[in-house]
Structure 1
Amino acid sequence: MSAAHKVELSQFLKHQHLCESLTMQEINTLLEYVTHAHFSKNEVIADIGTLGEALYFVVKGEVALIYEAPTGDQQEVGRMVEGEVMGEMSFFDRRPRSARLVAKSEDTQVLVLTRARYKRLRVEHPYIAVNLLEHVIISLDHLFRRVSQDYTEFSSYLYGRGK
C-alpha cells in the first residue's frame, strides 16, 4: 500500500465509528494489519459454505448479502455500505457462511482482516482489537434490529395489525 493511499485510508477511517476513539497513530497501526482489496460489480467477495477466515470493512461501494435456498433460488437479504463490517458471524463462530457477499458497485473496496492478523492484533494492540470487537457487536445489533423490523412489518402485513 503506497504512502498516499495509506493517508487516504487513514483519513477515511478517522471518520468511521470503528475508529472514533482511536488516535491517528492507532488507525495507522490498524492499517498495518489489513489489506485493501478491490472488487468489480457482481464479483463474489466471500461465498456461501466457506469458513470465515476474514472480516471485511467496506471502504467504498455497496455489498449485497445473498441467501441461496436449497432450490437454488437466490434472494438479497441485505446491503452493506461504506463504514460497515461484514463476515463477522462466520469469522467468530467458525461456522460456514450462510450468505454470499457480492460487490454491487463498479469499484467496491474493502479492508480485509484475516484471522491470523486479528490474532496478532489482539495480542500486540488489545485496545485496537477491543474497538474492533465493539464495532462488530454494534454491526450485529444493527443487523438483528433490521431483521426484527422487517419480520414485524411482514407479520403485520400478513396477519394484520393488533392481532
Structure 2
Amino acid sequence: MKPSITPIDREIRLGEDEFIVSKTDTKGIITYCNRVFMHIAGYSEAELLGTQHNIVRHPDMPRGVFRFLWQTLQDGEEFFGYVKNMCKSGAYYWVFANVTPDYDPNGKIVGYYSVRRKPSDTAIAAIAPIYQEMLALEKQVGPKDAPDASIRLLQEKLESLGTSYNDLVMSLDK
C-alpha cells in the first residue's frame, strides 16, 4: 500500500554524477534499487523492494504521462521523459528517466529497467508548465477520463510544435 505523504516545497537535487537505477517486474513492482535511489527517495531497501514503483509518484505529475510511459513500454520501446518524484519526507526531486523493457531469452518482456539522472534546469522550466496544464485538465474531466484527456492535450501541443514527444524531451536535455 502506498504511504500517505504530504508534499512539501523542498527540492532534493541529484548530483551530476549520480544515477538512480531500479528494476521492476511487468506490474511495476520494484525488484532492484540502487543506493542512490534509496538515499534520494529516503526509503530503505526493505521499504522499496516488493513495492509498486509509484511509491515515489508526486501528485504534481499528470496521470497521462504514466499512461504514455506504459503504452510506450508495452509496445516494446524505451521511454525517455521527465518525472517529478516525491521522497518519503514529502520533498521532491526531478529526474530525466530512461525506462527500457527487460526481455527473457525467448524475447518476452519480463520487467523494466530504469536509469534516471539529473535533468537540466532549462528542461524542467520547459516541461513543468505542460505538466501543470495536463494536470489541470485531468482534474477538470475527472479520474475516469483524466489520463486519455491529458495525453490528447500533450499530443496536440506536440503537433502544434511540429515535433514528437521523444524529439522534444531529447532536445530539452542538451
TM-score by length of 1: 0.32
Structure ID, larger Rg? 1
TM-score by length of 2: 0.31
Task: Select the structure that is richer in helix.
Answer: 1
